[in-house]
Structure 1
């Protein structure tokens, strides 16, 4: 897997971000810049996202909800799994990392309790940002009716065919791509009969979220959501597929300039051996946040090992790039200072002033900004690379070892 060159020219700030920040400074003054940037950094935490999960009994709704929440079926707070219909009313399952992101297990369309004529009102259709419509066979007339109603209301939805792992196991002598093509063709045929054309079908396994079209589904969801909601979704989800890790890297990099500006604008403390100052407290906070995001902090690694039935060391052995940070037991501050000291002479020129004219009058602003930016950019590259490596080990254990109860 290619890793970006840390010596490249930094594309530090998007034009829209720079314009917005400049307008803020012109209106409120540079002294209030830190408050503005801190709000922009934390803004994603204020965003609520509601996702409706729809499907008949046994199609894998609960397993899907548990997978995207990084839970096994027997974990505390997991959606109950089983072939008997257990959903009698809309049931919320908040994500353990962020309670504002909620996956709703919705009852099926057209039951005695939820006939079509009352269904949308009963589930509170306007509440949801998007819907995932699941089936483990062909999509039904009820699925088609729901999709039509959602189209009328301009609500995004995704048709998902589950249990692809079982389909290829049942026909092991046939090329999986041939099986997938037939599944998609049959699904399109059934949806066309329901007057739905050009709908994408995502063929997935709830037990192998980094395989088949689960990553493509996640990418489509991220692209469908507005930017701030997409960021909130990405930062909330665990690293269960490579596409999520890539999106985390993108969004984390987009906030570096804000953190670097905060470090330069205030709270900068000189590092022994350097004629520059950085906000070490801020960098420690940001480093810990990155570790959580990439699932490389102690709690995440312990949970991962327990969930996959192995040891923490099994996954830590896959970590190469960020080993010094991860092994900094109780000394992460000293470790960060040491890394910055080594990096200081590489790329911290005053060219960064052209990106941050609103703090250009701050003493040592350019070098502080550049030092912080370089450190965080390199850290994200290293952590994301290691997160991909850890996920590869997870996938190796998952394939063929999952207990399938939908």
Structure 2
């Protein structure tokens, strides 16, 4: 049995290795890289449209803002209020991923929005899935809408919002017998039984708070969406989610690692230029844009840190002080070259490990070295920015280190 490369050098899945082998066997390196570049462009341009609906005052608009990493008072936030503020389907682009749009839909059960015509009114075909929100009980309006969505073949998920307020109220009213788990279990059971009474079989209800998005059932909903969305839509969702929990940050990191082999192959096969002082050739501009994207994905850009500072009432300089990696605006071609040189000292061991994993690269040994160096550099950079995001999470939201 051939020796396996160390996990800290190459972490391609069996499917990725096979895709790379097939690509190389079907043509020359430039032809292969050109084909893979099309795939890379496609991944970066995937659209995801999410429809947020529910009754007036249920917290729809706050949830729209939370999914985009914004507070209700931030610039570009959806308008919120205790009465229905949304009259027409209103699109809100993600501030960092313009292909991801969260739609604030008109409230159901209001005059002019009967359930049987609601989906046509909001243009149901544009949405990848719907989130149906209630802040108290799910009613006949929610159930009727769910049945109509089901009839279109679209997916939908029930969200019981404002559970943080329920927990606070329960603690104030019954401090001696208060049980957080007990209160949440009661809410969940009440929602599920109410929906079943309205004819919804096996309803899936997620308990959430727009103001504490990383808590309660958000990770369960995220896991469910990951299983049910297509691969490309799932990646778009993961990268766009705010990093409010360790689980989300770990999933973001995994999503970035999944397409590093694509970036590495394209960078070494198209528009590659020699790196002075290294036996490596690659597209430095592509790599710089990729590193900038990794920073933005973890919220390590100036705008994201400004919003985080405002939301947590902390000086932005205090947040930047815990970030050891460069921010997105600080990533340049010079930084990429320096990072490649830092990895280049491992070159004598990198290339043989890559050739062991992907023997077809042996036909272009210099490419094997360039691919290995580039891939390792990307891996190291993502490890660094992910660690920074973890430190920010602990600092700003007091997340326990062992969470």
TM-score in terms of structure 2 length: 0.86
SS class of match (1:361): helix
Q: 1:228 aligns with which of 226, 232, 238?
A: 232
Q: 2:370 aligns with which of 368, 371, 378?
A: 368
State the match for 2:67 in structure 1. 68
In the alignment, the residues of structure 2 paired with residue 268 and residue 61 of structure 1 have an alpha-carbon distance, to the nearest angstrom, of 50
Map residues 211-290 of structure 1 onto 2, 5 A cutoff.
211-266=215-270, 267-272=272-277, 274-290=278-294
In the alignment, the residues of structure 2 paired with residue 283 and residue 121 of structure 1 have an alpha-carbon distance, to the nearest angstrom, of 44
SS class of match (2:211): coil
In the alignment, the residues of structure 2 paired with residue 47 and residue 91 of structure 1 have an alpha-carbon distance, to the nearest angstrom, of 20
CA contact (8 A) 1:55 1:61 kept: yes
Residue 109 of structure 1 deviates from its aligned partner by 3.0
In the alignment, the residues of structure 2 paired with residue 328 and residue 131 of structure 1 have an alpha-carbon distance, to the nearest angstrom, of 32
Residue 228 of structure 1 deviates from its aligned partner by 0.8
State the match for 2:163 in structure 1. 164
In the alignment, the residues of structure 2 paired with residue 285 and residue 122 of structure 1 have an alpha-carbon distance, to the nearest angstrom, of 40
Runs ≥4 residues deviating over 6 A: none
Residue 50 of structure 1 deviates from its aligned partner by 1.7
State the match for 2:388 in structure 1. 386
Q: 1:275 to 1:93 in 2, by over 3 A?
A: closer
SS class of match (1:120): helix
Residue 358 of structure 1 deviates from its aligned partner by 5.6
SS class of match (2:210): coil
SS class of match (1:171): helix
State the match for 1:12 in structure 2. 12
SS class of match (2:212): coil
Q: 1:351 to 1:153 in 2, by over 3 A?
A: same
Q: 1:383 to 1:330 in 2, by over 3 A?
A: closer
Q: 1:210 to 1:237 in 2, by over 3 A?
A: closer
In the alignment, the residues of structure 2 paired with residue 268 and residue 358 of structure 1 have an alpha-carbon distance, to the nearest angstrom, of 22
User: Are 1:204 and 2:204 an aligned pair?
Assistant: no
TM-score in terms of structure 1 length: 0.86
SS class of match (2:132): strand
**CA displacement 1:169-215 (0-9 Å, x = unmatched):** 11222121111011011111101211223222211111011111123
The runs of 5 or more residues in structure 2 that have no matched partner are: 1-5
Residue 11 of structure 1 deviates from its aligned partner by 3.0
State the match for 2:188 in structure 1. 184
The runs of 5 or more residues in structure 1 that have no matched partner are: 1-5, 398-406
CA contact (8 A) 1:66 1:72 kept: yes
SS class of match (1:66): helix
User: Are 1:308 and 2:315 an aligned pair?
Assistant: no
* Number of corresponding residues: 387
CA contact (8 A) 2:26 2:32 kept: no
State the match for 1:344 in structure 2. 344
Residue 291 of structure 1 deviates from its aligned partner by 0.9
Q: 1:40 to 1:276 in 2, by over 3 A?
A: same
Query: Pairwise CA RMSD of aligned residues?
Result: 2.7
Map residues 291-330 of structure 1 onto 2, 5 A cutoff.
291-319=295-323, 323=324, 325-326=325-326
Map residues 88-127 of structure 1 onto 2, 5 A cutoff.
88-127=87-126
Q: 1:330 to 1:128 in 2, by over 3 A?
A: closer
Residue 337 of structure 1 deviates from its aligned partner by 3.7
Map residues 134-145 of structure 1 onto 2, 5 A cutoff.
134-145=133-144
CA contact (8 A) 1:271 1:278 kept: no
**CA displacement 1:251-272 (0-9 Å, x = unmatched):** 1101111122233334142342
Map residues 46-85 of structure 1 onto 2, 5 A cutoff.
46-85=45-84
